[in-house]
Every structure is written in C-alpha cells, then in structure tokens.
Structure 1
Amino acid sequence: MNTSDDMQIFLTYGDIALASSLILVVLMVSWRLRLHLTKTLLMAALRTVVQLSFIGLILAWVFAREQWYEVLSILTIMTLIAGSAAKNRVKRRYNGLFIDTLLAVSVSAVLVTAIAIMVILDVQPWYTPQFVIPILGLILGNSLTAISLTSNQLINAFYEQQARIEMMLSLSATPFEAVHEQVRTAIINGMTPTLNSMLVVGVVSLPGMMTGQILAGADPTQAIRYQIVTMFLICVSSTLGCTISALLTYRRFFNKNQQFSLP
C-alpha cells in the first residue's frame, strides 16, 4: 500500500493478495457447516480477479483512445451479456425468453443512461468512456436483477394460478385483466430490492460507488451527489425494466385466440 501527500491510498498487488486471503474464512465456514459451496466460492473468486483484471486492461485502452465505435461496441456487448444473464436466472423458461429479457434490459438501461449522459450530466461528447461505460454498467447490473425477479415471480404465478386465470377469462375478462394481479405482484417483487436499498442508503449502508469515490480521494459532497443521481437512475431503470418484462412475458402465455396457454 502506497500513500501520497494528500492521503490518497494506492493499492498494490500485495494488498489484493492480502484481501484475497480473507476468502479462506469463507471457505472455512463453508467446510464446517457443509454448505458445499467450496467449488462455487473458488470459481467466483477466480472469475472476479480474472474478469475485472481483463476489463481493466480493456477500459484503460478504450479510455486512452476515446473512439465512439469502440465505446459503442463495449456498450452493446455489455447489454447482450446482461440480457443473457437475466434469462439464465429465470428457472422456468419459454421460447422467446431471451428476446424478452434483452428488450427489457436494453430499452430500460439504454434509455435511462442516455438521459443521464445527455441531459443530467451533459457529457460532451456523449461517448466519453469515463462516464457512459460505468453508468451503463451500474444500471445494467441492477436492472437485470430486477427483471429476473419479475420474470421468475410472474411465470411461477402463471403455473400456480392457472385455474384462477382461466376462470377470469371464462367470466369475459380480457387477457390483461385476467393476469393483472399476477403482473402487479411480479413488478413489486422485482422493485423490492431497489426500494429497500433506497430506504436505508446513507443510514445503514454506504453504496459501493460512493465509497469507491471517497476512498479514491474524491470530495465527499460530490460523491454523495453522484450517488443520489445514480440511485434515481437505477430506480427508474428497474421500474421500466420490470414493467416491460412483465408485459412481454404475459403475452407469451396467450395464443392468437386470446386463450391462456402454458408453454
């Protein structure tokens, strides 16, 4: 660990190695309690180091060049991976699930990121990698979690409440009226982690983005302002993502004759 005159701390590879040794505590807990998570923990730790190191090299290269097509390529890859990750977290799958999750993730995250970059922060040019890549990554990570929670909740509800939905349809309800309660519950379920985070931020928890900025030597007041903006961006993106996902998903469970049909 090295320090400069203004008390900014620079991490060395030795510091990272020391921090990684703490994983041994987690492995010991897993072994003693027979959690059978040893392989998963080791793989997660290894992937964390490899993936972040790799993306660090790429970002350093992209930041130095600042070419719009390179930035756009990275944003596209990030969005595709987020859509795939959201799909993989859904236990009961159906044909077209990847398209639905990708649309929900991309529309919500890209739209909110565009507003943040072009309107709120007024970044010039818009493809400045220092801003657009971290913001989109932050929003994508939270959106895919919210979308996968919504999809899981809604699909499970369709399977468990098939009789109720069909009864509603038999009473002349439209497809959306028949599944409105399930859609509403699924969206609320997807939004819950974001809302819970907003309720305790600054009181119980200090978000990673703000903590990272402060540790890097940024002005705490500016770090807090950035965190407030990002929390609102995440909230809007998660809401849009959950809503789009729910609306796209429920349509997959009705045929052309407006009949409820499980995949």
Structure 2
Amino acid sequence: MGVIELSWWQLAMAASLVVLLSLCIYLARLGLAGSLLLAAARTAVQLALVGLVLEALFSVGSLPWVALMGGVMLLLAGREVMARQQRRLRGGWSFGIGTAAMFVSAFSVTVLTLVAVIGPTPWYEPQYAIPLLGMLLGNTMTGVALGLDRLTEGLWAQRQLVENRLMLGEPWSRACGGIRREAMRSGLMPIINSMAAAGIVSLPGMMTGQILSGTAPALAVKYQILIMFAIAAGTGFGAFLAVSIASRRLFDGRERLRLDRLGSGRGR
C-alpha cells in the first residue's frame, strides 16, 4: 500500500481545528489563544523550511554538510535550554553546560547507533543521521533543561539548609545531594514515562509515521524500540553531565554555596 499524498487544503483543514481551539480559549478568557496560534504558525513555518533543507541535504549527502546541520541543531538546542531556566548561571555557563552535555551525550549515542547498530553506508547517511540526531537532541534538551532548572531552583529555595549542612562539616556533594537527585529525577521522568506508556497508552510518533508511510508494523516496532533506548541513554547521560557540572559550579574551592553565580531568566 502506497503513501496517501496530502494536499495543502487538507493541512488547512487540520489547522482549522487549532484555530477553533484558540477561539474557544479566547472566549473562555484563558489567556493562551495567542500563544497557541503563534506556536502553530511557528510549527508550520519551521517544518516547511526544514523539509526544504533536508531535501537539499539528502541530495548532497556529504559529511561536512551533515556536520554543519548537526552543529546548528546543537546550538539552537543549547539556546532553548538556557531560555527555559528561571535562574540561569551567569556568564554564559548555562548555555555552555547545556550545549556541552548535549554534545557529549546526544552526538555520542547518535554516532554509536549509526555505526554499531543501524549501519547505513556511508555511516553518516543523512536519511538516518539527521532524524536520529533530531530526536535525541530534542529529548535530551528537555531532560537537561528540566534538570538544570530543578537544580538551580532547589538550591535557591533550600539555600539555608544547604549552608547549615556545610557549616556542620558536610562536603558540598552531600549538602546538596537530595537536590541533585531531584534534579536528575526531573530530567529523566519524561522519557521514563514515555517508555512506560509506549505501546499501551500511546503509539510513539516515529512508529506512527512509519506505519502511515507504509512500513511493516514489525519493522516499525524494531526501529521504535531502538530509538526509545537511544533517547533514554542520551537523555540520561546529558542530564547527569549537566547537573553534575552545574552543581559543582555553584560551589567554590572552599566549598561555599555561590548563589551569586546565578542570574534570573524569563523562563517559559
């Protein structure tokens, strides 16, 4: 069975549902109608542009262009991590820590999956590399952002408790141990919930897309299991690195809590 083509007017029918929802929100005075419409418009424009870029990239298929695309995606993800924090580290540390953690985790897991598991020829085949990296970066970005936000907010809210434990002689790692655990838990919870509900409560997006495009369900399931495990590894390592580096940054060499290294962010 072939893929059923979608025309622009059919997409417009789907968009009308979002417009109808925004109208209901506006009439209910919930204050989210504008944000919903803006997000829908951004989705359409961004995905349309990405489609054009990917078509050009697939036709070229060279490693430098794939690496450039991956670098741009990484930098944008790092910016999103920084923007989602209520209290961010000063001096660009939030951007640097988030970007570095995602580079080490998401890129490493992507390359390992391409080379050792999927094995396309060449290994950087854009058809596999870019979608896989995009899924890992998107989920790792969420985990890193949640972990950093929970860490900084927790240290700010419990600063007196942490400082009291430091004065009692505890090392910084133990003084903020509970906050670090909560930060890691916050970063990992979305992917844990997704894996727990996959196939029972919901069909994951990649699997659904493959089935709609005509892929055999058995093959789609194998790819989805691979992607879920890769996302879990990338998100876990990324959140662990980000929380570890950021928590160390908030204590100096004399093991004093340095909340002066935190600024304020607008958050989202």
Aligned length: 258
Q: What CA deviation, in whole Å up to 9, does each residue of 1:153-210 have, x standing for no partner?
A: 1111101111111122122211111111110111011111111111110000001100
**Matching of residue 120 in structure 1 with residue 117 in structure 2:** yes
- 1:11 corresponds to which residue? 6
Q: What CA deviation, in whole Å up to 9, does each residue of 1:192-249 have, x standing for no partner?
A: 1111111110000001100000001111110010000000011111111111111111
**Partner Cα distance (1:257, 1:238) in 2:** 31
Shift of 1:80: 0.8
* Alignment partner of 2:203 out of 196, 206, 226: 206
* Alignment partner of 1:246 out of 243, 248, 251: 243
**Partner Cα distance (2:89, 2:61) in 1:** 40
* Alignment partner of 2:161 out of 141, 155, 164: 164
The worse-fitting range, judged by mean Cα deviation, of 95-104 and 206-215 is 95-104
**Local SS of the residue matching 1:22:** helix
The letter for the 1-side match of 2:20 is V
**Local SS of the residue matching 2:259:** coil
Q: Which runs of 5+ in 2 are unaligned?
A: 261-268
Q: What CA deviation, in whole Å up to 9, does each residue of 1:33-76 have, x standing for no partner?
A: 21112221221111111111111011001101111111110000
- 1:154 corresponds to which residue? 151
Q: Is the 8 A contact 1:83 1:106 kept in 2?
A: no
Q: Which runs of 5+ in 1 are unaligned?
A: 1-5
Q: Is the 8 A contact 2:136 2:230 kept in 1?
A: yes
* Alignment partner of 2:30 out of 35, 38, 52: 35
The letter for the 2-side match of 1:29 is C
- 1:3 corresponds to which residue? none
**Partner Cα distance (1:229, 1:7) in 2:** 25
Q: What CA deviation, in whole Å up to 9, does each residue of 1:83-121 have, x standing for no partner?
A: 111111111112111111111111110011011111111
**Matching of residue 107 in structure 1 with residue 104 in structure 2:** yes
Q: Is the 8 A contact 1:139 1:237 kept in 2?
A: yes
- 2:186 corresponds to which residue? 189
- 2:226 corresponds to which residue? 229
**Partner Cα distance (1:206, 1:200) in 2:** 9
**Partner Cα distance (1:239, 1:216) in 2:** 31
* Alignment partner of 1:215 out of 204, 208, 212: 212
Q: Is the 8 A contact 1:66 1:129 kept in 2?
A: yes
**Matching of residue 45 in structure 1 with residue 40 in structure 2:** yes
Q: Is the 8 A contact 2:151 2:243 kept in 1?
A: yes
Shift of 1:7: 4.7
Overall identity of the aligned pairs, in %: 35
TM-score, structure 1 as length reference? 0.95
**Partner Cα distance (1:31, 1:242) in 2:** 37
The letter for the 2-side match of 1:209 is M
Q: Is the 8 A contact 1:214 1:223 kept in 2?
A: yes
**Partner Cα distance (2:145, 2:78) in 1:** 10
- 1:137 corresponds to which residue? 134
**Local SS of the residue matching 1:21:** helix
What does 1:63-82 align with in structure 2 at a 5 Å threshold?
63-82=58-77
TM-score, structure 2 as length reference? 0.93
The letter for the 2-side match of 1:64 is S
**Matching of residue 259 in structure 1 with residue 230 in structure 2:** no
Shift of 1:129: 0.2
Pair 1:58–1:35, CA change in 2 (3 A) = same
**Partner Cα distance (1:188, 1:176) in 2:** 17
